[in-house]
Structure 1
């Protein structure tokens, strides 16, 4: 048999092995073995798998003698002057490239022991070279560790050297006898071509199988995203009947399930499909309770003569819905036959469960964060009024001794001011006209305290009444101006409050003619709490933090010295041009956003 015929015959036999490998990669058990790490029992299974592939390559070889060639498919043990032209190296090299050095050596040992059993002139050399070549293939694969599956061109390059090294060892073990030289000359080139091309094709086949699985997983994840996008808006308020109905309807449209059920932890909330099962019987199903308890996907299939579940449905997949810990409910996908529960359905169920869990966890975190911000804002708001209250009570204590009537009036006005504050500050934003009423109540107290020693001027551009502002924003700033306006003046203190439009925003300014603020405090005021005798730094800081939290960084307070003495504090508000309005029928004076 000439070299060309032998080469074609080996390629033909290699094609049969390729078909065998294709079938193996589509067996679920084999796919699980290939997917898992090559360690422990799984490593041993991989070594056996590739070793058996190597033995198949041996039996698919051609027996070659000095003057003969036997092309029978299942080769018998060889004679003392016979040698096998085989494809056994494909399984051994694949074991090393895909599983690593120890897997390659294990597969080589299995294949080599079988080659020694087959005998022939190269039996002993094959028993040594097969494990060695599997080990070397695994060591070489470490240079390409960043690739999950080595690229076919690289595998082709590695596959060329394995048969060359093996035939060289045959000559070494037989001390280059005339018979061995003749046989190596016959089988050398065909084995190099068949083994290298075979390793390349087999690696490409395995890569294609993994990519097919990845594409299927990506497709199911895409389906899960599309369904979750429709369902998640309904789940924001938790697992209720409305969210369950939307989930069941979306899944019935997208999946090939015969029925869909959605539960919370206690009852069946929604069901789409033939008939409707009893809620108590549904929740009593062991697989449903197991999915709720373990937070893992569970399947249920009718076996043998067992009765079907209901409405001729014979199989189901139960998917827990919820974040880490105990799920908030279960999604049940029912099918008429267990054969309909393919891996693609399980991939979708797994992806959908993980996606819903992560999204619900994120929504819960956002809800908790929002509650935390609201609590923080309310805490800052609560700090403003006690600060003002303490200053006013100190004034009342002083006036009780020198002007009891004025102290009585001041006490009444303070009570009215605090009563309105308790209602107004329940909401994050109020209309500007409510804020001005609150400021005027404060100024009434101030005028009673300081008589003619202080002048407060207010100027508000018409049309700004409905602009929204955090409550008690102006009062602490005016209080800050009052203290600085009178600290170094026995009389003649002036505080000006001005609100006017500036482009698409409203600019608010509070200015005093006091002694100003030291430069080292000017840059810190509003950014950190500053407390001390005669200081309003804590109240100003709280105002600044609420402005930024509710209206954005553009609304932050800006402090600057006024030429000639004094301090100017300013900030800007969004001019919504009707985007907000006050609900005149609400006794709480709550501001409400409406469509502009």
Structure 2
């Protein structure tokens, strides 16, 4: 009982030690020779403390004297010194365990008594063995308490055996072992188990606190970010400041850009602060360095108010540059604890990362729009060059036809400019666009070309697709599918409902696609020959950009001859309502 009571004092001291940040290095096994020596010395001192907290055994009787200076040859100590040595080995490994055992053993030898020499031999060995056992649990950050308790049972037993061997099983040694053996086995094993349980409790408490603060920071950033992503204005800054003040329980919160105060909410808030220039030295330093600063006096606080005595100035970044400040105001500097500062750092990094992600998404969207516009810009000249070439030919042989083509071309280009203002257009407009194109083509080919267009009823006003999708596909059939043919060319355009979307196809009875080009069509412009494939390549790329890879064009040569271009356009939200502004009659 006396040994347990005194061991409790030792465990209380070690519990306080577990709260020291440097102790985490040992738990994470981040050891070098300096930390190894430091922890060997630390656990060695814990072991010496366990010795002095022990019970003096004198002539077979217990003596409750505390802090015995030296032991007589016939005296011994029933102590909890092995707790420090076992913990050194289990937590720090072989080197720390052996080092702590040597320190404890040398002290036991100096202290003397019946067990002095035996302890000097046994404690380094016990520390070494504890370190070797810890290797079997290397994947565990801290060994489980029940395992530590079971392993520690054998340490005092080994020590008792060494005492008997060193003292050649003398009557005094046997009497001492009989008296202290069982109490030391129980006390030391339970002490190691409790020590490990305290360490685990401290770790879990820290992890729970970290998880709670992380969740809190994510929650606050999630609520404030939608406003900050809209740009730093007085309205968005005020909305973000209200959220931060409510969640952080600060007396006031201000949001600034790099030049002026955009909004402030809470104590001392007035509209006159909006637009006020940033003046304080700490705020300007935070903008310049990007580091968090703590304002501990009213002179460093802007704006001044008697109820505000301290502030945390938190810069946040966008695109690698400081974009503004979040100022968290408190009544006193005593309210700014370490946890508030750590949370402010986390909030600053989180908002900065999210703003960078938002900027990257915006840039990606702008690049995507730019690429779509570039693709669209390539289609118009492609058709224009072909039509102008046809007009040059018609001027010589059919001047009246050339005049009609020129008029139709003007109508076509006006319609084209109107459609290209949007990424997506209703199907009925795309069909009108195709019809205008065919009016131009029919003047050139007259009875040599027959184009049939079938659109399932109800799709015209409910389906959207990129502008100038059908026309380049039909033009491809006319320009390349019928090249060198003297018989009538036939083209069928179909738009049908499917489970996954609208099935669109353009089929002709022409020459078909060269077999060696089927795999490359639509993936890249074709090089060589008299065709670059820009038209169908651009159409396929725009479909992929807007609807995904499943919408890309598919090319094949049907067994009955000719060529087939097909794709599936996914149903869009707009397809749930009729987006026509005028009727369109289904037909051919």
**Alignment partner for residue 483 of structure 1, among 479, 502, 508?**
479
Matched, 1:511 2:507: yes
Distance 2:125 2:104 in 1: 11
Deviates more, 1:503-512 or 1:30-39: 30-39
Q: 1:267 aligns with which of 243, 260, 263?
A: 260
Say if 2:551 and 2:567, in contact at 8 Å, map to a contact too: yes
Describe the shift of the 1:214–1:418 C-alpha distance in structure 2 as closer, same or farther (beyond 3 A). same
1:38 aligns to what? 31
Moved more, 197-206 or 117-126: 117-126
Cα deviations by residue, 1:528-555 (Å, 9 ceiling, x for unpaired)? 4334445463311221221232133453
Residue equivalent to 1:5: none
Alignment CA distance shift 1:67-1:433 (3 Å): closer
2:562 aligned to 558, 566, 574, which one? Answer: 566
- Shift in Å at residue 211 of structure 1? 0.1
1:272-311 pair list within 5 angstroms: 272-276=265-269, 283-301=278-296, 310-311=305-306
Query: Which stretch of structure 1 is more off in the superposition, 279-288 or 316-325?
Result: 279-288
What is residue 350 of structure 2 aligned with on the other side? Answer: 355
Q: Give the TM-score normalised by the residue count of structure 1.
A: 0.85
Change in Cα spacing, 1:244 to 1:119, as seen in structure 2 (3 Å) is farther
Q: Is the 8 A contact 1:33 1:45 kept in 2?
A: no
Q: CA deviation at 1:368?
A: 2.5
Alpha-carbon distance in 2 for matches of 1:538, 1:28: 65
Q: Judge conservation of contact 2:27–2:142 (CA < 8 Å) in 1.
A: no
Partner residue of 1:129? Answer: 122
Q: 1:190 aligns with which of 183, 195, 201?
A: 183
Judged with a 3 Å threshold, the aligned counterparts in structure 2 of structure 1 residues 281 and 558 are, in CA distance, closer, same or farther, namely closer
Note closer, same or farther for the CA distance 1:307–1:577 as it changes in structure 2 (3 Å cut). closer
Match of 2:66 in 1: 73
The structure 2 residue matched to 1:581, chosen from 576, 579, 583, is 579
Q: Distance in 1 between matches of 2:250 and 2:161?
A: 60
Check the 8 A contact 2:260/2:276 in 1, yes or no. no
Shift of 1:487: 2.0
Partners of 1:580 and 1:354 lie apart in 2 by 46
Which structure 2 segments of 5+ residues have no match? 583-588
Shift of the 157–502 alpha-carbon distance from structure 1 to 2, 3 Å rule, reads: closer
User: Pick from 200, 217, 220: which aligns with 1:207?
Assistant: 200
Worse-matched range after superposition: 123-132 or 574-583: 574-583
The equivalent of 2:147 in structure 1 is: 154
- Is the alpha carbon distance of 1:234 and 1:98 closer, same or farther for their aligned partners in structure 2, counting shifts above 3 Å? same
1:58 and 2:56 aligned: no
1:172–1:217 distance in 2 versus 1, CA, 3 Å: same
| Cα distance change on mapping 1:435 and 1:281 into 2, 3 Å | closer
Q: Distance in 2 between matches of 1:457 and 1:308?
A: 74
**C-alpha distance in 2, partners of 1:146/1:75?**
41
For residue 213 of structure 2, what is the aligned residue in structure 1?
220
Confirm or deny that 1:557 pairs with 2:553. Answer: yes
| Superposition RMSD in Å | 3.4
Distance 1:93 1:346 in 2: 38
The answer to whether structure 1 residue 427 and structure 2 residue 425 are counterparts is no
Q: Is the 8 A contact 2:428 2:580 kept in 1?
A: no
Cα distance between partner residues in 2 of 1:112 and 1:282:
69
Of 96-105 and 84-93, the range deviating more from structure 2: 96-105
Alpha-carbon offset, residue 218 of structure 1: 1.0
Cα–Cα, structure 1 residues 75 and 226, in superposed 2: closer, same or farther, change >3 Å?
same
Structure 1: tracts of 5 or more residues without a match: 1-7, 585-596
How far apart, CA to CA, are the structure 1 residues paired with 2:581 and 2:17?
A: 72
Q: CA deviation at 1:307?
A: 14
Bigger mean CA deviation after superposition, 33-42 or 341-350: 33-42
Q: Do the aligned partners of residues 140 and 314 (structure 1) sit closer, same or farther apart at CA in structure 2, a change above 3 Å counting? A: farther
Distance in 2 (CA, whole Å) between partners of 1:47 and 1:326 is 46
How far apart in 2 are the matches of 1:58 and 1:315?
Answer: 49
The one of 236, 249, 254 equivalent to 1:256 is 249
Taking structure 1 as reference, are residues 205 and 503 closer, same or farther at Cα in structure 2, changes over 3 Å only? closer
Work out the CA distance in 2 between the residues paired with 1:439 and 1:307.
65
- TM-score normalised per structure 2: 0.86
Work out the CA distance in 1 between the residues paired with 2:510 and 2:416: 28
Cα shift readout 1:154-210 (whole Å, capped 9, x = no counterpart) = 211221222223333334444444433332332222111111111011001100011
SS for the counterpart of 2:129 is: helix
**Post-superposition offset of 1:214:** 0.5
Name the counterpart of 1:377.
Answer: 372
